[in-house]
Amino acid sequence: MIEQTGANPAALNRQNTGERLAKRAATLASIRHYFSQQQVLEVETPLLGQYPVTDPQLDNLRVENPFVITPASSNSNSNSNSNSNSSADYLYLATSPEYSMKQLLSLGSGSIYQISKAFRQDEPSRLHAMEFTMLEWYRMDYDMDELIDDVAALIHSLIPDAAVEKISYRDAFIRYAGVDPFTASSDELELIAKQKMDVSFTHQSKDVWLDLLLTHCVEEHLGKNGMTFLYDYPESQSALARLSINADGQTIAKRFELYMSGIELANGYHELTDATEQMRRFECDNQQRLQAGDPAREIDAGLVAALDRGLPNCAGVALGIDRLLLLL
């Protein structure tokens, strides 16, 4: 399949199509060779699941479940489709294989990787597609810094001369946006954002302004000469990452993102293994959804069970294959 780049495949001539297909095949082969040499096991997990994601920044694509049995259909021994609106009426296409892979990790799989399709309800653009290809992997007993080095090694196997830069989230904001993201208030961030870009709305969420400043003032400076790893995010953007305390006594998330040519290419964590804390974050996600006027989401029981069994110490990262191909 031609990679999802936002371009119309019909507009590609035969030569370009052949070149793109060859480049894609060679890249996937190189990635598999890298992990084979590292003795990381390739796995495959389901694309359809029972639960949507709670992350307020993501929305699943869903399909009707043709095998839902309602009380009426059960009484009549019928397998006809349900007309109710319960969550059981739908199956959800995976936004990433993360939750399924964590179930494997909790069952003793060891280090694993997967190249799979992922689906998100995003407006199509050059860098966003509703269907795309994702590489996701988990390394046993790695921390964030070790995983950053692992990602850099993989990229070097494809782009040998790519330079490597590492800069903290805080230092990048101070350098390129002129503000400390950890100490600035929401009002201060809003003022700076409105000075730097054409913004007319107001918002009380600090993360809204941090995201705007990141995408409009910081990202364009990242990865100009190769790889830039942005690391140690604010606690409010921890997602599924562990928390730590930096040298200034600030709580940070052990999370990183990889940028090349101003494009976000990968997102990784030293994975959270505390089931209680993860449930708290899921509940916070749903509170944010409700505050935004969106419905709360049912929490994935499979991931909860995996965390209850005990997720081993590991670090994991997701990398966009289609975006990577744009850079090769």
Residue 296 domain-assigned (yes or no):
no
Residue 204 domain-assigned (yes or no):
yes
**Predicted confidence band at 204 (pLDDT cuts at 50, 70, 90)?**
confident
Residue 210 domain-assigned (yes or no):
yes
pLDDT digits (tens, 9 = 90+) for 65-77: 888 765 544 444 4
Residue 49 domain-assigned (yes or no):
no
Residue 263 domain-assigned (yes or no):
yes
Q: How is residue 134 written in tokens?
A: 């994702």
What percentage of residues in the chain have a pLDDT greater than 70? 90
Give the model's pLDDT for residue 80: 37
Number of other CB atoms surrounding residue 250 within 10 Å: 15
pLDDT digits (tens, 9 = 90+) for 98-108: 999 999 999 99
Residue 198 domain-assigned (yes or no):
yes
Residue 98 domain-assigned (yes or no):
no
**Closest to 193 in 3D by CA, of 183, 207, 182:** 207
Q: How far apart are the first and last CA of the chain?
A: 17
Q: Is 247 left (phi over 0), alpha (psi -120 to 50) or beta?
A: alpha
Strand blocks (E) in the chain: 41-42, 48-49, 62-64, 90-93, 112-119, 131-140, 163-168, 226-234, 243-245, 251-260, 263-270, 314-320
If you average pLDDT over every residue of the chain, what do you get? 88
Cα→Cα distances 323→120, 129, 243, 257, 260, Å: 15, 11, 29, 14, 10
Is the pTM here over 0.85, yes or no? yes
- Give me the number of domains the chain comprises: 1
Would you say residue 32 has pLDDT above 80? yes
Residue 9 domain-assigned (yes or no):
no
CATH number reported for the structural domain that contains residue 208 in this entry? 3.30.930.10
pLDDT digits (tens, 9 = 90+) for 142-162: 999 999 999 999 999 999 999
Q: Which residue range forms the structural domain that includes residue 250? A: 143-273+311-328
**Closest to 27 in 3D by CA, of 174, 177, 154:** 154
DSSP per-residue string spanning 194-235: HHHS------S-HHHHHHHHIIIIIGGGTTTTEEEEEEEEEG
C-alpha to C-alpha distance for 328 and 104, rounded to whole angstroms: 32
pLDDT digits (tens, 9 = 90+) for 118-144: 999 877 777 888 999 999 999 999 999
